[in-house]
């Protein structure tokens, strides 16, 4: 006696799944463009020519030159679990995407659930009406269900039997409901306000207190008129720095997703979309310039140099060992220059030299701590941009010597100030505090206690908190 197997009605209808923003909480075309920015300039200059031949040609050329690492992409876990259940029920799953076929096939192979992949080629951009026509030709009108997330998919949903949506806006949900039945809505994983603040690295804004250094040096911290300007400079610098962090993280998406800690950053994890990050960066830069118009023109010049320097760092210089740390040190010095420009004071060359040397050492501390962290996580053979774990001893030596040298130069500067009748005792106190703190941080890094962001470590480290309180007390007394 033969047994009959009953196939559920839903299983007989193919489920077509979009890729960008749906299966993956990212835009692979945008990721490819940012990856191209890290390639030789010759490739970047070809981009307009690619685009002139249409989006399909652009995607094909980008897929030839750069491709995101598919194994680390931010896949939507709830959606994958749903697709696995549908696959077990015997349903045919189709990946249909505007992404180039070379990259789409890699994603499909990695996921291992799809029976067929439909994607863009060199001539055809499989999106919108083109995708709708292709699916209708293959399965017939109302002969498939479609899972997507964008308004560009509206023509597809009009030809589909049922719609499945990923994190739709109220407007999109209303439009889709007018043309077909909505079967299911997936909530997605977009981040909260906390995630946005985390991506802005708001805790790094503490670095921008360096704009107040010229007021401290001239003992005019309590001059209200000048203090107001310095506060505006602090806000502008914080917004500018956050825009750079956003741009840096867009460029570093592949590396961050392979990092044991940085993979949890909102952009890398898909909690913040690339489009939102770009808009937010533009808004922050606009706000920076707006605030800068209320300050002397020298301030905008200084912050412009800072932005250009960090842009070069993000695109190229971060991959050159020791030069990257020198650029970061120069960025801290530019904060002092910008603060001086905001209050129209002359900044002492001594202060700039001290800050450059000291923060060069702290930048090396970050590289050293990152290598130690990666070494503990992955083993012996790890590299971080231009650095390797085998060079960690040299990084330690150069970094610690830089910290001690900065303290020495500060002491000499304090001696010169004493000749003018100024507060030599406060400078000695600051030197003592900085010397102790430098040794403490390098010791913690060597022990593997500083994992991830050194600034975050300083926030939670009790000794660093005491050091900060002592430093602030000395500065306020001497101001």
**Structural domain boundaries in the chain:** 10-186, 193-478
Residue 278's pLDDT is: 95
Strand ordering across the sheet containing 93-100 = 116-120, 93-100, 15-17, 145-148, 162-166, 181-186
Give the separation between CA 20 and CA 465, rounded to whole angstroms: 44
CATH homologous superfamily, domain 10-186: HAD superfamily/HAD-like (3.40.50.1000)
End-to-end CA distance of the chain: 97
In the predicted model, residues of the chain with pLDDT beneath 70 are 1-11, 189-191, 375-386, 388-391, 417-423, 452, 479
Q: Are strands 145-148 and 15-17 parallel, antiparallel or unpaired?
A: parallel
- Residues of the chain with pLDDT > 90, as a percent, come to 63
What percent of the chain has a predicted confidence (pLDDT) above 70?
A: 92
β 15-17/387-388 pair status: unpaired
309's CB contacts (< 8 A; 6+ apart) are 327, 330, 331, 334
User: According to the model, what pLDDT value does residue 2 have?
Assistant: 37
Mean pLDDT for the chain?
Answer: 89
- Per-residue b/e over 66-98, b at no fewer than 16 CB within 10 Å? bbbebebbbbbeebeebbeebbeeebbbbbbbb
**Which of 310, 177, 208 is CA-nearest to residue 249?**
310
Contact 34, 71 (CB under 8 A): no
Instruction: Check residue 26 and give its pLDDT.
Output: 93
The C-alpha atoms of residue 333 and residue 326 are separated, in whole angstroms, by: 11
d(CA 121, CA 100): 6
CATH code of the domain occupying 193-478: 1.10.600
Residue 418 CB neighbour total at 10 angstroms: 14
Q: What's the gap between Cα 426 and its chain centre?
A: 39
DSSP 321: T
> Among the residues of 75-192, which ranges form H helices?
77-88, 101-111, 129-139, 154-159, 170-177
Chain centroid to Cα 423, Å, comes to 42
| Token pair belonging to 157 | 């949903």
CA 246, CA 34: separation in Å to the nearest integer? 12
Q: Do domains 10-186 and 193-478 have the same CATH topology?
A: no
């Amino acid at each position: 006696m033969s047994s009959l197997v009953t196939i559920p009605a839903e299983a007989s209808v193919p489920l077509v799944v979009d890729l960008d923003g749906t299966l993956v909480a990212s835009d692979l075309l945008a990721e490819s463009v940012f990856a191209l920015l890290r390639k030789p300039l010759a490739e970047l200059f070809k981009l307009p020519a690619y685009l002139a031949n249409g989006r399909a040609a652009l995607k094909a050329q980008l897929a030839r030159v750069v491709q995101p690492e598919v194994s680390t992409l931010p896949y939507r876990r709830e959606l994958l679990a749903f697709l696995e259940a549908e696959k077990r029920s015997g349903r045919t799953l189709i990946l249909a995407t505007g992404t180039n076929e070379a990259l789409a096939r890699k994603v499909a192979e990695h996921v291992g659930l799809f029976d067929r992949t439909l994607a863009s080629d060199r001539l055809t951009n499989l999106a919108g009406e083109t995708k709708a026509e292709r699916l209708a030709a293959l399965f017939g009108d109302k002969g498939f269900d479609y899972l997507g997330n964008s308004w560009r998919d509206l023509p597809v949903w009009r030809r589909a039997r049922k719609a499945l949506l990923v994190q739709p806006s109220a407007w999109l949900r209303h439009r889709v409901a007018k043309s077909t039945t909505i079967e299911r809505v997936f909530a997605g994983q977009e981040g909260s306000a906390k995630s946005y603040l985390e991506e802005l690295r708001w805790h790094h804004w503490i670095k921008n207190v360096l704009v107040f250094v010229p007021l401290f040096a001239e003992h005019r911290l309590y001059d209200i008129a000048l203090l107001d300007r310095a506060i505006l400079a602090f806000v502008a610098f914080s917004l500018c720095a956050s825009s750079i962090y956003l741009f840096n993280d867009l460029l570093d998406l592949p590396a961050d997703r392979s990092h044991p800690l940085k993979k949890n950053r909102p952009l890398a994890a898909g909690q913040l979309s690339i489009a939102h990050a770009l808009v937010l960066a533009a808004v922050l830069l606009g706000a920076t310039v707006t605030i800068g118009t209320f300050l002397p023109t020298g301030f905008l010049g200084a912050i412009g140099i800072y932005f250009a320097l960090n842009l070069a760092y993000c695109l190229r210089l971060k991959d050159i060992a020791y030069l990257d740390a020198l650029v970061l040190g120069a960025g801290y010095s530019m904060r002092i220059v910008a603060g001086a420009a905001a209050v129209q004071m002359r900044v002492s060359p001594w202060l700039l030299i001290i800050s450059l040397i000291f923060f060069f050492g702290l930048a090396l501390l970050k590289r050293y701590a990152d290598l130690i962290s990666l070494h503990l996580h992955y083993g012996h053979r790890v590299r971080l941009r231009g650095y390797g774990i085998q060079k960690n001893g040299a990084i330690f030596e150069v970094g610690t010597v830089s910290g001690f040298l900065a303290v020495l130069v500060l002491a000499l500067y304090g001696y010169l100030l004493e000749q003018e009748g100024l507060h030599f005792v406060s400078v000695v106190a600051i030197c003592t505090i900085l010397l102790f703190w430098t040794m403490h941080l390098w010791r913690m890094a060597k022990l593997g206690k500083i994992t991830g962001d050194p600034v975050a470590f300083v926030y939670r480290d009790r000794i660093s908190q005491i050091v900060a309180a002592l430093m602030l007390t000395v500065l306020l007394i001497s101001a």
